[in-house]
Amino acid sequence: MTETAKKKEPLVPLVAQIVGIRTDTPDVKTFKVVNTDGKKPFSHIPGQCAMLSVPGVGEGMFSITSSPTNEDYMEFSIKRCGALTSFLHGVEEGQQITLRGPYGNGFPVNADFVGENLLFIAGGIGIAPLRSVINYCRSFRERYGRIDIVCGARSPRDLVDRDEALGEWAKDRDIGVHPTVDRADKNEDGWEGHVGFVPSYVKELGFSPDRTAIICGPPVMIKFTLEGLEELGFDKSRIYTTLEMRMKCGIGKCGRCNIGSKYVCRDGPVFRLDELDALPDEY
Amino acid sequence: MTSEKTKTEAKTKMLKISLEKTGLLFEKLSAAGKLYIPVDGAAGASFEKWDGKAGEANKFEMKMSSAHNTVKSAKDVFFPQTEDLMRFRVNGKKIEVTDCSDYLNNSNNSNNSDVARADNSAQNEKTANNIILFGVRACDVKSFEVLDRVFLSEPCDTYYKARRERTVIFSMACAAPRETCFCTSFGIDPSCPEGDVSCIADGKYIYFEIKSEKGERLMSSLSDMSDISDILESIGDSDPESVASRRREIKRRAERLPLSGVSTEPFGAGTTGRYFSSPAWEELSATCLGCGACTFVCPTCQCYDIKDFDTGESVVRYRCWDSCMYSDFTKMSAGQPRLTRLERFRQRFMHKLVYFPENNDGLFSCVGCGRCLASCPVNMNIVKVMKKLGGGAGD
Amino acid sequence: MQRTDRDALVRRAVSLMNDGVCDRVLAWRRGEFSSDVSPGVFTDTESVEKELVRNFFCGANLSKYLISETEKTEKKVLIFLRPCDSYSFNRLLSEHKFNREKVYAVAVGCDGTADIGKLKRKCGALSDIKRRGDKIIAESLYETNEENEENEENEANGAERVFDLEDVLSERCLSCNLKNRADCDEIISDGGRDAVSERFFEVRRIENMSSEERYEFWRGEFSRCIRCNACRDVCPACTCEKCVFSNPSSGVENKAAANSFEESMFHIIRAFHVAGRCTDCGECSRVCPQSIPLHLLNRKLIKDINILYGEYKSGESVSQISPLNSWTENDADPSEVAELLERSRSK
Test the B interface: residue of C67, C170, C233, C242 with most B CBs within 10 Å: C233
Residues B292 and B346 in one domain: yes
Q: Which CATH architecture has domain A118-242?
A: 3-Layer(aba) Sandwich (3.40)
A126 contacts in chain B (CB < 8 Å): none
Q: Which H, E and C letters describe chain A, residue by residue?
A: CCHHHHHCCCCCCEEEEEEEEEEEECCEEEEEEEECCCCCCCCCCCCCEEEEEECCCEEEEEECCCCCCCCCCEEEEEECCCHHHHHHHCCCCCCEEEEEEEECCCCCCCCCCCCCCEEEEEEHHHHHHHHHHHHHHHHCHHHCCCEEEEEEECCHHHCCCHHHHHHHHHHCCCEEEEEEECCCCHHHHCCCCEECCHHHHHHHHCCCCCCEEEEECCHHHHHHHHHHHHHHCCCHHHEEEECCCCCCCCCCCCCCCEECCEECCCCCCEEEHHHHHCCCCCC
Residue in chain A nearest B89 by alpha carbon: A55
Residue B77's region, left for phi above 0, alpha for psi from -120 to 50, else beta, is: alpha
Test the B interface: residue of C23, C30, C32, C57 with most B CBs within 10 Å: C32
pLDDT over 70 at C287, yes or no: yes
So what's the pLDDT on residue B65? 86
Residues B250 and B304 in one domain: no
Residues B198 and B288 in one domain: no
Q: What does the pLDDT average to over A263-281? A: 90
- What whole-number distance in Å separates Cα of residue C114 and Cα of residue C124? 15
Q: What is the pLDDT of residues B170-190, one digit of tens each?
A: 999 998 899 999 999 999 999
Tell which residue, B80, B254, B282, has the closest CA to residue B162.
B80
Query: Which B residues, 189 through 228, put their C-beta within 8 Å of a C-beta on chain A?
Result: none
A134-138, B299-303, C30-34, C256-260: lowest mean pLDDT where?
Answer: C256-260
Whether the upstream peptide bond of residue B190 has omega within 30° of 0, thus cis, is no
Is the pLDDT higher at B5 or at C161? C161
What is the residue extent of each domain of chain A? 10-103, 118-242
Contact C36, C75 (CB under 8 A): no
So what's the pLDDT on residue C167? 87
Contact B221, B168 (CB under 8 A): no
Q: What does pLDDT average to over chain C? A: 87
Tell which residue, A62, A108, A69, A64, has the closest CA to residue A214.
A108
Q: What is the pLDDT of residues A122-142, one digit of tens each?
A: 999 999 999 999 999 999 999
Whether B108 maps to a domain, the answer reads: no
Q: What does the pLDDT average to over B253-272? A: 92
Q: What does the pLDDT average to over B113-118? A: 29
Is the pLDDT higher at B8 or at C211? C211
Residues B193 and B336 in one domain: no
CA C20 to chain centre: 31
DSSP C179: B
Residues B214 and B290 in one domain: no
Whether B9 maps to a domain, the answer reads: no
C60 contacts in chain B (CB < 8 Å): 287, 377-378
Kindly report the number of other CB atoms within 10 A of residue B173's CB atom.
24
pLDDT over 50 at B119, yes or no: no
Give me the interface pTM, i.e. the ipTM. Answer: 0.89
Q: Which of B255, B287, B303 is the last residue of a domain?
A: B255
Whether B263 maps to a domain, the answer reads: no
So what's the pLDDT on residue C144? 52
Query: Which B residues, 68 through 97, put their C-beta within 8 Å of a C-beta on chain A?
Result: 85-86, 88, 90, 93-97
C145 contacts in chain B (CB < 8 Å): 176
Name the band, by pLDDT with cuts 50, 70 and 90, for residue B131: very high
Residues B143 and B230 in one domain: yes
- Pairwise CB contact (< 8 Å): A258 & B355: yes
Q: Which of B255, B290, B323 is the last residue of a domain?
A: B255
pLDDT over 80 at B60, yes or no: no
Sign of CA dihedral B356, B360, B362, B363: negative
DSSP B391: I
Whether B94 maps to a domain, the answer reads: no
- Pairwise CB contact (< 8 Å): B337 & A283: yes
- What whole-number distance in Å separates Cα of residue A123 and Cα of residue A201? 12
Tell which residue, A222, A182, A180, has the closest CA to residue A205.
A180
**Sequence letter at residue A9:** E
- What whole-number distance in Å separates Cα of residue A115 and Cα of residue A120? 15
Name the band, by pLDDT with cuts 50, 70 and 90, for residue C102: very high
- Pairwise CB contact (< 8 Å): B306 & A249: yes
DSSP string, B282-298: HHHHTT----SHHHHH-
Whether B7 maps to a domain, the answer reads: no
Number of domains in chain B: 2
**Sequence letter at residue C209:** M
Whether B90 maps to a domain, the answer reads: no
Q: What does the pLDDT average to over C21-28? A: 96
Domain containing residue B336: 272-393
- Pairwise CB contact (< 8 Å): C38 & B379: yes
pLDDT over 80 at B113, yes or no: no
Please state the φ and ψ torsions of residue B284, each to the nearest 5 degrees: -65, -35
Q: In CATH, which of 2.40.30.10, 1.20.1290.10, 1.10.3720.10, 3.90.1300.10 is domain A10-103? A: 2.40.30.10
A147-151, B185-189, B228-232: lowest mean pLDDT where?
Answer: B228-232
So what's the pLDDT on residue C347? 57
Residues B71 and B194 in one domain: yes
Binding partners of B (≥3 Cβ pairs within 8 A): A, C
Q: What is the pLDDT of residues B38-58, one digit of tens each?
A: 998 888 899 999 887 655 555
Contact C160, C193 (CB under 8 A): no
So what's the pLDDT on residue C83? 93
So what's the pLDDT on residue B107? 42
Q: What does the pLDDT average to over A169-186? A: 87
Q: What is the pLDDT of residues B342-385, one digit of tens each?
A: 999 999 999 999 999 999 999 999 999 999 999 999 999 999 99
- Pairwise CB contact (< 8 Å): B343 & A6: no
Name the band, by pLDDT with cuts 50, 70 and 90, for residue C145: very low
B106-110, B197-201, B239-243, C268-272: lowest mean pLDDT where?
Answer: B106-110
Test the B interface: residue of A95, A256, A258 with most B CBs within 10 Å: A256
Contact C66, C51 (CB under 8 A): no
DSSP string, B338-359: --SHHHHHHHHHHIIIIIHHHH
User: A–B: how many Cβ contacts below 8 A?
Assistant: 142
Sign of CA dihedral C124, C130, C136, C142: negative
Looking at chain B, the whole-number percentage of residues with pLDDT higher than 90 is 59
Looking at chain B, the whole-number percentage of residues with pLDDT higher than 70 is 86
**Sequence letter at residue B16:** K
Residues B170 and B207 in one domain: yes
Residue B258's region, left for phi above 0, alpha for psi from -120 to 50, else beta, is: alpha
Residues B55 and B167 in one domain: yes
Residues B219 and B304 in one domain: no
Collapsed DSSP state (helix, strand, coil) of residue B390 = helix
Residue in chain B nearest C227 by alpha carbon: B292
- Pairwise CB contact (< 8 Å): A14 & B97: yes
Q: What is the pLDDT of residues C297-324, one digit of tens each?
A: 999 999 999 999 999 999 999 999 989 9
B303 contacts in chain A (CB < 8 Å): 254-256
Report the greatest alpha carbon distance in chain B.
74
Q: What does the pLDDT average to over B237-262? A: 91
Residues B249 and B367 in one domain: no
- Pairwise CB contact (< 8 Å): A261 & B86: no
Q: What does pLDDT average to over chain B? A: 85
Q: How far is A225 from chain B (nearest CA, A)?
A: 19
So what's the pLDDT on residue B245? 92
Q: Which of B255, B286, B313 is the last residue of a domain?
A: B255
pLDDT over 90 at C237, yes or no: yes
Kindly report the number of other CB atoms within 10 A of residue B250's CB atom.
22
Q: What does pLDDT average to over chain A? A: 90
Q: What does the pLDDT average to over B16-21? A: 89
pLDDT over 90 at B207, yes or no: yes
Q: What does the pLDDT average to over C245-261? A: 73
Residue A163 half-sphere exposure toward CB, CA atoms < 13 A:
5
The answer, for C97 touching chain B at a CB cutoff of 8 Å, is no
- What whole-number distance in Å separates Cα of residue A122 and Cα of residue A241? 10
